[in-house]
Structure 1
Amino acid sequence: MIRLAVPDDAEAMVAIQKEVLTEEIYFVSTIDEFHQTVEGQREWIQAKQEHPSEVLFVAEEDGEVVGWLVFQTEGRIKVRHTGKFGVMIKQEARGQGYGKQLVQGLIDWARAHPVIEKILLFTFASNTRAIALYKQLGFV
């Protein structure tokens, strides 16, 4: 199930972020640079809920958060129609379609949004599985 994140998801989201950053494969940030607390994550989730042009989704299986996607805007007037996203999926949940469902949820959300016109993303060239997914969903 894909749904909007709520503050109660904070602990699971922090755990997923720590796991993914520990792998040192998919993100520029390292685990040594990660200092987010569960309380800080709750506040961040709340801020996303209140922002009119940003969204935070979680993928849930049997009541457990297994991944999440955040879409954020820069806040500048001339680029307010754009934003970028990032995805994190627990290692054991990868390859089961959660990433695709999260990104498709974002695409659907953006199409219905009155301002958002362009979704951007960044990934390493070595992340071939993600690149294949993004291409499959229409990203260039």
Structure 2
Amino acid sequence: MQNSNDIIVRFGKMEDAEMTLEIQKSVIAESDYLLTSPEENKKTLLEHREWIQKRIENENETYIVAQTDEKVIGWIAFEHSSNRKRTSHTGSFGLMVHKSYRGLGVGEMLLTALLHWAEKNPSIEKVSLAVFSTNQKAISLYKKMGFIEEGRKIKEFKINDHEYWDDVLMYKLV
């Protein structure tokens, strides 16, 4: 799909499951910006493979990876909103980049590939996401890529007894 500075962005395959699950586990373990906490993350390799298979088999979903030197360093997955007719034109994505490769444009490359895929998919008209209000780097990237804030869920996440974060909802029409 895309190649830049020895980083290749391509559609994901089942063979990527182990590496993408490891990225997911490491990101969850070291990030304050994800809903799932490390102790809640119990996804097995088999469950992850089944999840990947659903993305690959559904023409309105996709799974894209970034790799360098045969090593997957990040991934993005688009999931269809539902099987209901009135929301069949929408979906949302999740994006994860290994800590060692952040700040190098990998997230932007993955998001660019996803948007290119969505623009070519006749069923997809709206790409959505939700992001913690404190994740300013991600929000900056999404705004740079043309996403617009469409709302917030105020105090959606309880961090501790006295701290709450909003859930920022963003979208881009394709």
TM-score (structure 1 length as normaliser):
0.96
State the partner residue of 2:75: 68
Structure ID, larger Rg: 2
Query: Residue in 2 aligned with 1:102?
Result: 110
Letter in 2 for 1:129: K
Q: Which residue does the alignment assign to 2:66?
A: 59
Structure 1 range deviating more: 121-130 or 35-44: 35-44
Larger relative contact order, structure 1 or 2 (CA cutoff 8 Å, min sep 6): 1
For 1:6 and 1:44, locate their aligned partners in 2 and report how far apart those are by CA, in whole Å.
12
Q: Which runs of 5+ in 2 are unaligned?
A: 1-7, 149-174
One of 7, 11, 22 as aligned partner of 1:4: 11
Q: Partners of 1:135 and 1:67 in 2: how far apart?
A: 20
**Offset at residue 79 of structure 1 (A):** 0.4
Greater strand share, structure number: 2
Alignment of 1:1-140 (within 5 A): 1-75=8-82, 76-140=84-148
Deviations 1:19-49 (A, max 9, x none): 1111241211111111111122222211111
Give 1 or 2: higher helix fraction: 1
Runs (4+) of structure 1 moved beyond 6 Å?
Answer: none
Shift of 1:52: 1.4
Q: Please state how far the C-alpha of 1:62 moved relative to its aligned partner.
A: 1.1
Q: Secondary structure at the match of 2:46?
A: helix
Distance in 2 (alpha carbons) for counterparts of 1:127 and 1:79:
27
Tell me, yes or no, if the aligned pair for 1:80 and 1:115 is still in contact at 8 Å: yes
Once residues 25 and 120 of structure 2 are traced to their aligned partners in structure 1, the CA distance between those partners, rounded to angstroms, is 32
What's the Cα RMSD here? 0.9
Q: How many residues align?
A: 140
Letter in 2 for 1:26: Y
Aligned-partner Cα distance in 2 for 1:60–1:117: 28
Q: Which letter does structure 1 place at the counterpart of 2:105? A: G
Question: What are structure 1's unaligned runs of at least 5 residues?
Answer: none
